[in-house]
Amino acid sequence: MPTRNSALWLILLTGFPLVPGGVFYNSNQSAGYIRSFDRNSAIDAADIAYYNMAGTVRLPPGLSLDVSNQMIFQRATVRTLDNPVLGDRRYASDNSVWLVPNAYLVYRQADWALFTGLETIGATAVRRWAGGLPSLDLAGKQAAGYGGGASLRIAADAGAAAAAAGATPAQSQAAAAAAGLDPSPFPAGSWLRGAACRVSPTFALALAGRLVAARQDCVGGATGACTCDDHGHDLRTTAPLLLDVTARALGYSGEVCLDWFPRPGLVLSCTCELATRLDFRTTVRAGKDGGGRFTDGRRARLDLPQVWRCGLGWQASPRLRVSTGFKAYLEGRARMDLLDDPVAGIEARRDYGNTCEASAALEYQLDDRWLLSLGVNVNRIGQRPSATLDTSLPGGHANYLSLGTGCRYRLSSRLRANAGLAWTGFAHPRRHADAGDLALRGRFAAAGVAVDPRKEYDKRYLILALGIEYQLPL
């Protein structure tokens, strides 16, 4: 009986994709994908154990191996705009990921195939913000005394100082409001087993089950950003705001893939990946709960959604292959209670909708050794702006545009090398006012001052992928 035994590692650190996918997925699973951005209908290499598992019955008889690594250079930014407390600032996070491995092995004989693989289907790096984040800076100011009873004296002094400097009454009120903020808080590994077989000359079918072990970590902190304010109030005794939280879950699901080969050189593939229920339990270490944002022992769902992948590939000539693909991530139907944040007004069932992406690729066989490829991917994220917080960065999910190019070079009759270079990121920076901005707007409005604080989010990736393919006839 043919089986599939695949190990996929999922690490949900901040719930963001590396390359376009759903909110919790990424599509970059091989060097072949990076150079083309479209592999849903591919039938030429072992990495289709992920992209088109029914197509493994069309690989050459024997063993096929595909091993690759991706080096990802990431940059995410948050800008505060018209913020009366923090000013207009730009926060940046530059993190390089040097090791994102992928490995696939396929054994095919007659009308069936066995295959196994290692993939990374979630975030792969801790994102560090050396200069802080807007909401953490604001929380640090609050922790340092901007709030509670001390705020009355601080605000009065700030307002008096502004008036003495010649400020208008409205400007004095704004200075007092900025100084006297209230203390409201601001807010996996997967193993699969299955089978693939050709059920007729024109159809192939694959089934798989999977076990998902997911982990989400959040570690960080904010110190009092104002240990001694402009009016001599000594606030150096305030404890910092700290986070050290882990959530773990285990779930089960399956998937099915059907390929249709209506004529030579034409492939139509469709894969349904079932939703995976993940019931997370939160652990807070040493009381570092982010000022009450996290609760030790809390249980909440954050399911992996159902995913549909379709692909159409056409060998237009002996040298030219054209393909296109579509993916739908049904996040609007998944339970994601873990993302609910009453303080920020986020309700996952309302604020998260379905994500979809489309792709297209051209591959040209230059000669008997060189294959050149070019691909594009466009992605429409289903998350509403209202569900974006800077602490979930690089949240601020916007629609993505991705471009990939590269080549495959035949080193020998059995060995081929892949190289891919890709750029991906927000098609346009996303601006909006989050819960903290709206709260600031309300506090200043209560003092008779109109302000319009907002944030601008952006994200860019440059990816270099290298890999080898090896084929051993048996």
Q: What is the pLDDT of residues 277-319, one digit of tens each?
A: 989 999 998 888 876 777 899 899 988 889 999 999 999 999 9
Residue 46: what residue type? A
Per-residue confidence (pLDDT) for residue 185, from 0 to 100: 29
Q: What CATH fold (topology level) applies to the domain 6-146+181-472?
A: Porin (2.40.160)
In this prediction, residue 130 carries a pLDDT of: 67
3-state per-residue secondary structure call for 234-256: ECCCCCCEEEEEEEEEEEEEEEE
- Would you give the DSSP letter of residue 296? T
Q: How far apart (Å, rounded) are the C-alpha atoms in residues 432 and 196? A: 47
- From CA 151, how far away is CA 159, in angstroms rounded? 12
Q: Which residues of the chain have pLDDT under 50?
A: 1-17, 124-125, 147-152, 179-192, 224-232, 235-237, 394-395
Model confidence over 154-212: pLDDT tens digits? 555 666 666 666 766 655 655 555 544 433 322 233 344 555 787 788 999 998 877 77
Give pLDDT, residue 88: 85
pLDDT given at position 240: 59
The predicted structure's pLDDT at residue 2: 29
Residue 233 · residue 43 · CB < 8 Å = no
Say which DSSP state 390 is in.
G
Position 279 scores a pLDDT of: 93
pLDDT of 375 reads: 97
Residue 250, burial from CB neighbour count under 10 angstroms (0-12, 13-18, 19+): middle
Count Cβ atoms within 10 A of the Cβ of residue 378 and give its class: 0-12 exposed, 13-18 middle, 19 or more buried. Answer: middle
As given in the structure block, the two tokens for residue 175 are 């200075």
pLDDT of residue 291: 67
- pLDDT of res. 76: 85
Peptide bond into 61 cis (omega under 30): no
Distance of alpha carbon 448 from alpha carbon 455, whole angstroms: 23
Is the four-CA dihedral 320, 50, 461, 344 of positive or negative sign?
Answer: positive
CB 132 within 8 A of CB 139: no
Distance CA 445, CA 428 (A): 31
